[in-house]
Chain A
Amino acid sequence: MFGLTPDEWGILQLSLKVAFWSVLCSLPVAVGIAVLLARCNFPGKSLFDAVVHLPLVLPPVVIGYFLLLALGRRGPLGALLEEYFGIVVAFRWTGAAIAAGIMGFPLMVRAIRLSVESIDSGLEDAARTLGATRWRVFFTITLPLALPGILTGALLSFARSLGEFGATITFVSNIPGETRTLPLAIYTLTQVPGGDAAALRLSMIAIVLSVVALMLSEYFVRRAQRRAKGQDA
């Protein structure tokens, strides 16, 4: 399809799968933390904020290494997961999704936090005087109004996931068909003699993918912004 070889097709599918699940699973957590940071004051908030931003400033390899220590089969969390739930993430595509999700997390939180901060909290007060509980206010007022930011955050994280390299290769290695995503495949091809042409083809795919994702998100963000501003769609 689209003139891709079955191998290339497999790499593309794996990359999309990893990015999709990493965004889907980190999104609710990111929304929660963004709202917490935007609307609440608590002791240790700046430290918490710094920890959330760590993946942005640490070398990805360090994150991958910590993940390996914690979630590897002999790591404390990894052993627990395997023992009680039978889940193994080390050297699996699920591990790649975790690594990608963590690397994209700060970008996601920042975008959502900005849009939550821009919501007039007076609207939330107004909703409460009309009889809405805090939870209802969150789902009927805050969340819909933050939608542009949530979409932006999801897209940034998705793009970051597609490009994730350092943490992934450190945590789940470079296993064909399991953890060899697009960047890892390109890297592998550049390491073998005569792999240049194939590496270039994959790079082209990466470019097309990014541009399409960017355009789609722009469209959805604009639509959401129009709605949140209250103009007739």
Chain B
Amino acid sequence: MLNVKIGKQLTDFALDTEFSSDSGITALFGRSGAGKTTVVNAIAGLVRPDRGTITVNGDCLFDSALGIDVPVERRRVAYVFQEGRLFPHLTVRGNLNYGYALAQPGQRYVELKQVVDLLGLEHMLERRPANLSGGEKQRVAIGRALLASPRVLLMDEPLAALDNLRKGEILRYIECLRDEIKVPIVYVTHAVEEIVRLAEMVVLMADGKVLATGKPSEVMGRPELRAHAGIFEGGTVIDAKVAAHDLQYDLTTLEFAGGRLIVPGVDALVGEPMRLRVRARDVSIALTHPHDVSLLNVLKGRVVAVTASAGSSCDLRIDVGGVNLAARITRLSADRLKLTAGSEVYALIKAISLDR
């Protein structure tokens, strides 16, 4: 259990943040410069807040009122940095053992072998960091942090420096970590895909303040937060289940409160939960059920809100069986279709990104 309530005056804004996280992955989410990194640095002890408290599992790490400021090395809060920060003069094995050797034997909860297997590091143990690829470096950095047996693992945009292929690879490893080792992780990111895929809880930050906390599907779905244009691309997170497979066409049918969706074949068991994300601009609107179209996913719903923006676009919220689906269409289309709150519409979904 991590509790953070800190304030600090920074050069261009005042940081004033409060959140707590239980277990699993808590994502600190927001634009660059929102103060996310300052928050994790404060948890690690690398930055000293002006005021507030930080506690982990009831242990106080920082309390300005009581004058407590536990030194970095005694916090047992390990950190995976954006750029890895592997020790260049040590081999991969040396890097992995660095924190392990410093942890109290009684407090260790993972062994080298387990981490090496989990992250697939076996073949590179004797190599030096300069000869590793970006993805490999990040895997070693994660392993090194884990082997220090921290109470909380901090990750500051660990995927930012990687290409898309490597991102997917590391994401899979982080998922393994979350599910197998169960160390609480505070994960800084400004990428929606990473949150949808990993996070149990989102802390949305802007200009040093927490705008919202909650489950990804709740936070991402709140229209007033989407008004912070650019903070994240509008979209909807849907929690669904696998309903059926169509082997002939290699398609999978997913079921959620608002209906059924068909996606390219997914390797999952029927009944398995699946998280989906539909970007607002991948949703088109029709007033009648379209027949001669190639789109497979058409959902019936009712418009809840129409928000015209200053530009050419217009944001809609459509209630589809209790799920608030976001759609972004042009203002011209909205006027032509005479869309207002209460209109019955069909939402045509062009693309769905999947997460398991």
Contact = CB atoms under 8 A, between A and B. Distances in A.
Nearest to A231: B130
Contacts of B76: 131
A126 B85 contact: yes
A130 interface: yes
B89 A144 contact: yes
A126 B88 CA distance: 12
B89 A228 contact: yes
A130 B89 contact: no
Contact of A231 (B79, B131, B148): B131
Interface residues of B, number: 32
B161 interface: no
Contacts of B130: 229-231
A113 B86 CA distance: 22
A201 interface: no
Contacts of B77: 129
Contacts, number: 79
A200 interface: no
Interface in A76-130: 120, 122-123, 125-130
A129 B74 CA distance: 8
Contacts of B148: 129-131
A230 B72 contact: no
B78 interface: yes
A69 interface: no
B99 A145 contact: no
B8 interface: no
Nearest to A141: B87
A5 interface: no
B300 interface: no
A170 to B, nearest CB: 43
Nearest to B86: A230
A130 B149 CA distance: 9
Given A131-B148, A230-B128, A145 B78 contact: no
A136 B99 CA distance: 12
A120 B85 contact: yes
B129 to A, nearest CB: 5
A232 interface: yes
Interface string B116-137: 0000000000011111000000
Contacts of A231: 128, 130-131
Interface centre among A127, A140, A230, A231 (most CB of B within 10 A): A230
A129 B128 contact: no
Given A126-B81, A130-B144, A131-B99, A229 B88 contact: yes
A207 B34 CA distance: 62
A134 B76 CA distance: 15
Contacts of A230: 86-89, 128-131
Contacts of A126: 79, 81, 85, 87
A227 interface: yes
A127 B78 contact: no
Interface residues of A, number: 23
B224 interface: no
Nearest to A145: B89
Contacts of B129: 230
A144 B90 CA distance: 10
Nearest to A125: B46
B268 to A, nearest CB: 37
B296 interface: no
A127 to B, nearest CB: 7
A136 B72 CA distance: 13
A227 B76 CA distance: 29
B287 interface: no
Interface string A202-233: 00000000000000000000000001111110
A120 B99 CA distance: 19
Given A131-B99, A131-B102, A145 B144 contact: no
30 contacts: A120-B85, A122-B85, A123-B85, A123-B88, A125-B79, A125-B85, A126-B81, A126-B85, A126-B87, A128-B45, A128-B46, A128-B72, A128-B73, A129-B45, A129-B73, A129-B75, A129-B78, A129-B148, A130-B73, A130-B144, A131-B102, A131-B148, A133-B71, A145-B88, A229-B130, A230-B130, A230-B131, A231-B128, A231-B131, A232-B128
Interface of A: 120, 122-123, 125-133, 136, 140-141, 144-145, 227-232
Interface of B: 44-46, 71-79, 81, 83, 85-89, 98-99, 102-103, 127-131, 144-145, 148, 154
